[in-house]
Amino acid sequence: MKNLERFVCGMTWGFMGVRGSWIGEAPRDSMRKMAESSAADWTAIAFAAMQDTAHSTEIHYEQSPTVQDEEVLGAIRSARELGLKVCLKPIVNCADGTWRAHINFFDKDVPCEPKWSDWFASYQRFMLHYAKIAEQTGCEMLCIGCEMVQTDRREAEWRDLIAAVREVYSGIVTYNCDKYQEDNVTWWDAVDVISSSGYYPADDWERQLDRIEEVVRRADKPFLFLEAGCPSRGGSAAIPNDWTLQGAPDEDEQAAFYTAMLGSCERRPWVGGFMLWDWPAHLYERTEAGEDGGYCIYGKKAEAIVRRHYEQRRGIM
C-alpha cells in the first residue's frame, strides 16, 4: 500500500485559472510567495475542465477555458524549483454554473437519454490524459475526482477508472470526496489515500472527526484533507463551504476557523495533512489583504497560524 511518508503541509494553488492565466511571472511569483509565507512543502495544482451541464456526457478538457498542457507543465516545474511535492488535481466543472456534485444520470442506461456509460468513458479519457502527465513529471500524487457526490454510488465505474489510471500512473492515487460524504464512499479500498473536503463549522470539528475516524479505521488507509479552509468574511466560520456568503472582510473570522480546525486535527494522529484552500495564480498585493474576503490566507492573520503549524509539523525551528 502506498503511504504518506510524513505529514502533508500543503496548499492548493491555481484553481479558477483559465487558459493563458498561468503564463508569465505573476503565477511563478504567486507560488513562490505561497511556499515562503505558508511554510508549505506540498501543493495541489488544481484546474478545471468543463462539461456543458450536469447532464452532459462530454468533458471538453482540450479546449478553453482549461489551461493548456504547457501551463500545467510549467506549474509543476515551478513547484519543483521551490522544493514542493505535487498533487495534480484535474477537476470537472459545469459551464452553466451547476456544482459538479450534481452531475447525475439514470441508474440504468436508457435509449435517447444521457448515460453514465458515456460520461465515464469521457471522464476516463480526461483523467488518463493528466495521469500520463503526472507520471511523466513525477508528481507524487494524483487526485482522480473532487466532490462528485452523485457519482460516488457508481462503485464499479470508479474501480474501473482507478485500474485504468494505475496502468499509466505509479504514484499515490486519491479521491477527494465532499464534506459529510466520507462514510458514503464504498470503494476506499481501491485508492491509496482517503481524502475529503474539510469545510466543517468551526464549532463542529470534534464531532465530525469522530465520524471520519470510524471510516479511516475501517478502511485502514492514510487520510488527509485535500481541501480545507474558510473565507476571511463575516459569518464564514459557521459555513466555510459557502463561497457566495455575503459579508464584510474579517480576518478574525478566518483565523478563528483555522485555530479550531488545526487544534482539533492536531489531536488526531490519523489526520495525515492538508491541502488548504486556496492560493490563486494571480495574487493580490499584501497591503490589500485586509480588503480581501476570499479563502487565500496571504497577508492575513490566518497566515501566521498556518505557518506556525506547518513549521512545527516539519520540525522547522
% of the chain at pLDDT higher than 90 = 97
User: Mean pLDDT lowest for which of 3-17, 53-67, 261-275, 296-310?
Assistant: 3-17
Residue 150 has pLDDT above 70, yes or no: yes
Contact 113, 160 (CB under 8 A): no
Residue 317 has pLDDT above 60, yes or no: no
Q: What is the pLDDT of residue 218?
A: 97
Q: Give the start-to-end residue ranges of the domains of the chain.
A: 8-314
How do residues 220-273 score in pLDDT, each as one tens digit?
Answer: 999 999 999 999 999 999 999 999 999 999 999 999 999 999 999 999 999 999
Mean pLDDT of the chain: 97
Question: What's the mean pLDDT in 5-21?
Answer: 96
Q: What is the pLDDT of residue 299?
A: 98
% of the chain at pLDDT higher than 70 = 99
Residue 1 has pLDDT above 60, yes or no: no
Q: Out of 3.30.465.10, 3.20.20.80, 3.40.50.300, 3.40.190.10, which CATH number does the structure's domain 8-314 have?
A: 3.20.20.80
pLDDT band (50, 70, 90) for residue 316: confident
Contact 87, 72 (CB under 8 A): no
Give 254-306 as a DSSP string. Answer: HHHHHHHHHHHHHT-TTEEEEEEEEE-SSPPPGGGGGG--SS--TTSHHHHHH
How do residues 89-148 score in pLDDT, each as one tens digit?
Answer: 999 999 999 999 999 999 998 998 999 999 999 999 999 999 999 999 999 999 999 999
Question: What's the mean pLDDT in 278-284?
Answer: 97
How do residues 196-225 score in pLDDT, each as one tens digit?
Answer: 999 999 999 999 999 999 999 999 999 999
Distance of alpha carbon 119 from alpha carbon 33, whole angstroms: 38
Distance of alpha carbon 215 from alpha carbon 202, whole angstroms: 21
pLDDT band (50, 70, 90) for residue 174: very high
Please give the C-alpha separations between residue 160 and each of 84, 105, 124, 176, 248, in angstroms, as whole numbers.
31, 18, 9, 17, 46
